[in-house]
Structure 1
């Protein structure tokens, strides 16, 4: 700390003394000023500023001038360059889109299918490069479907916004928001952190082991992700793990991919297994578990191991220890949140009895969470903290998938790709491998898993009938390929939940 002295050559007899009117007026709480040599002023009666131990003048006079003339960080320049790059890529993709539209329609493909495929490739490019916000890309899809004549009118382009899955997502995300706002997320985060003893690997292992168990309680991967993403965000924040750190990336990638795969092991695990079982036919709950537990178990282990290896540096850093805190009893808000969440889970697990669409329990849970008296959220909380981009992306991708199916484009793509599959009666394993390989590019072009399954399962089963392969195995092969691979977040509602965080 620097100190400023004011002295008069006639009134200050010695250095370091507190005499004179200026020194006497200093408050008693000021720190003492160490003595320093002060030269005599050449002019009697003139007051001069002097500095003890270092000059104070640069600190007083030059600091404001420095802050004015100091060059700013190049954030504006970087943002400008980033915007220019995004504009260039967006223009390039729209140019490619116009080029595709100008090409002659391939044989066997309808003109509407040609236009829908062009829109689908534009959407994939925008979603993969992220040059524009994902929600804006969803609106681009709706407009492009209408303007190109890929669908008869705006009503068909907005068909995805009337699909129940979009409102299922709204209800699930509201459940996750309620878990966060009620304090349950922090309580669960502290529970996990207390048992990992500062070891990041233990926290990651708890996360992985919890997926199969939570599937029995919350069968939907989107529901689990919507809740767990808040829980583990709290855990990482309490452990002082910054966003973007290797450990944070590993946890979020596990929620995004491994968690989703855990649902497909069970027939009641969500839309994917239910739709696939209905298309294949004759698959019971136990038979589905026996057939899918091995391949998806292998995928779970491989996915978790790959994520660990890619971000292993983050697991070597110990987590910050939490201070001792006696757990408090559950509050009324937490109890109401638990009751509403478990009530929705019971309705999802008993859908074989009441045959409700999964979106209906989610909507009922949303109403209860926002209802006066029993709710835990206000409407302001809901509208300000809800990730509306998820809704637009999912709804527009469903519209695109329906347009692909309605125009016959998805069937044309599938038949074109599977045409080269070997139909050897002596090597059915080769047929399975070929189905797995050719399903991946089809999944790239069809963003919605329901549209993908509705297109590929009948074709795969037909190939199985034409060879020595069991048709059920052929149908399950494309389910594995379609559910195990994600190219961009819009292909899965649970992935959107993590991506928007």
Structure 2
């Protein structure tokens, strides 16, 4: 109890100092002389970027609140900067606020919003729980098979529940129920690896499936805005699924090696899952409707650019409209709004706005040139560029509690960096997509992703357990990125 109290006090102090540090850094950057070749507006945006990164890394204020603060800072600090087109005039708060809200008109925001509604429908109907229990009922009672089942559920739910936190939140009570029903101590290694696998498998399949995570939509938004190209659901899947499949196998062996279960089989395990499934009863009409709608939506996602030209955001919004219609729908607006984490949507839109402001004020291009020179990337071989930037992202992610926030801060800069290198043959779109995979890692610390914290809240494992499994997992993922960069991704033309 005393240790928990100390941890809370330290956390509270870190949050207070984080906000003060962010404000001090913002002030310091703005007071520095404007570098040559950088407009004053760009200089101001660099200060806001530094403020945002410190706030997001220290978690000193909640993400939705940070979004409101960042919008206000852009409106006033950028609004009081000289207009780049007419230096004798100020940009003005009206134009600056338009820039600050530009992310909320992005099609990627519509997709993320739609994804949150689908996740809400899954939890309301219980379809996600039924899918999880059905998979686990087929696995058996051997501990290694149960581990395979948990990883497999993470894969399957990633196709249907486009929210990592929602997927893990669905799985946690099921896994805890299994642990309790089996009579296994929740502090046992077996309980620990099941819960760690629940979080890590979902993080891995965030990479494999475009619609599985909000940070992927951030990257897609910037790729469309900066590079004028779109990546379909199937194009993403073909490129990323092999990585996620291999890493799922790696996760299995890493967990069994680092935290071997105390027993090889749990007596009565299969019966326990069967009983939980029986308690759900027959599929409700709402579940059947949602399953049919999800399968149709998955069909449209996976056949984009192959059988039709309907983009992912549009088909998702059409599905949500059907889902909410009276009579044929699955839930009404009131049932939906109580289950939607609106703060996630606000953060997403603000993140897009921040990146757009960095681009329009030329701050991203200036910072990219600095990074290119600093890391010596100008004429580095393509695989060397990938290795350097991937390693940089892994390190910087240690300070972030959200891959969405990290993507919002870094993707526009990474695109500008890739456009600035002189190495011939760099596929900027493909390389950005691969670096987005790395942004989804978050394997090392519980605080590196919301889904990790949901699992950590069960008290089935310690931070050191997560690190012990997360470090080899991250190293394997990094090496696999480089291996696929030299082979498979080169063969399919994205490297």
Same fold by TM (over 0.5)?
yes
Residue aligned with 2:330, SS: coil
Going from structure 1 to structure 2, the CA distance change for 1:374 and 1:227 (only over 3 Å counts) comes to farther
324-333 or 428-437: bigger deviation: 428-437
Residue in structure 1 matched with residue 125 of structure 2 by the alignment:
182
**2:137–2:274 CA contact under 8 A, matched in 1:** no
Q: CA deviation at 1:141?
A: 0.9
Q: CA RMSD in A?
A: 4.7
Question: Which runs of 5 or more structure 1 residues have no equivalent in the other structure?
Answer: 1-71
Aligned residue number for residue 54 of structure 2: 125
- Matches of 1:213 and 1:315 in 2, distance apart? 27
Q: How does 1:31-430 map to 2 (within 5 A)?
A: 83=12, 85-149=14-78, 152-199=95-142, 201-209=144-152, 223=162, 225=164, 228-240=167-179, 246-247=192-193, 249-263=195-209, 279=227, 321=269, 322=272, 324-325=274-275, 327=278, 328-352=281-305, 353-419=307-373, 420-421=375-376, 429-430=383-384
1:390 Cα offset (Å): 0.8
Structure whose alpha-carbon radius of gyration is higher: 1
Q: How many pairs are equivalent?
A: 415
Residue 196 (structure 1) shift: 3.6
* Secondary structure at 2:376 match in 1: coil
Report the CA distance shift for 1:418/1:497 in structure 2 as closer, same or farther (over 3 A): same
Contact 1:192 1:203 in 2 (8 A): no
Q: Is the 8 A contact 2:324 2:331 kept in 1?
A: yes
Residues 372, 420 of structure 2: 8 Å contact kept: no
Provide structure 2 residue ranges, at least 5 long, that are not aligned to the other structure. 80-92, 181-185, 456-495
For the Cα contact (< 8 Å) 2:133–2:273, is it kept in 1? Answer: no
Q: Distance in 2 between matches of 1:98 and 1:372?
A: 52
2:211 & 2:334 partners in 1: Cα distance? 38
Structure 1 residue 475 displacement after superposition: 5.5
Aligned partners of 1:471, 1:106: CA distance in 2, in Å? 28
Question: Structure 1 or 2: larger helix share?
Answer: 2
Residues in 1 aligned to 2:341 and 2:231: alpha-carbon distance in whole angstroms = 36
Residues 402 and 234 (structure 1), Cα distance of their counterparts in 2 relative to 1, 3 Å cut: same
Alpha-carbon offset, residue 138 of structure 1: 1.0
Q: Distance in 2 between matches of 1:393 and 1:287?
A: 27
1:409 Cα deviation after fit? 1.1
Residue pair 2:300, 2:315 contacting (<8 A) in 1 also: yes
2:162 touches 2:211 (CA, 8 Å); kept in 1?
no
User: Residues 175, 338 of structure 1: CA spacing in aligned structure 2 closer, same or farther, 3 A cutoff?
Assistant: same
Contact 1:423/1:431 (CA < 8 Å) preserved in 2?
no
Q: Deviations for 1:59-86, whole angstroms, at most 9, x for unmatched residues?
A: xxxxxxxxxxxxx999999877754553
Distance 1:414 1:275 in 2: 15
The change in CA–CA distance for 1:190 and 1:80 in structure 2 (over 3 A counts) is same
Check 1:203–1:142 CA distance in 2 against 1; reply closer, same or farther (3 A cut): farther
- 2-structure distance, mates of 1:201, 1:462: 48
Q: Assess if the C-alpha contact under 8 Å between 2:233 and 2:312 holds in 1.
A: no
Look up the match of 1:19: none
Quick one: higher RCO (CA 8 Å, sep 6+), 1 or 2? 2
Q: CA deviation at 1:187?
A: 1.6
| Contact 2:175-2:195 at 8 Å conserved across structures | no
Q: Determine if contact 1:333/1:376 at 8 Å carries over to the other structure.
A: yes
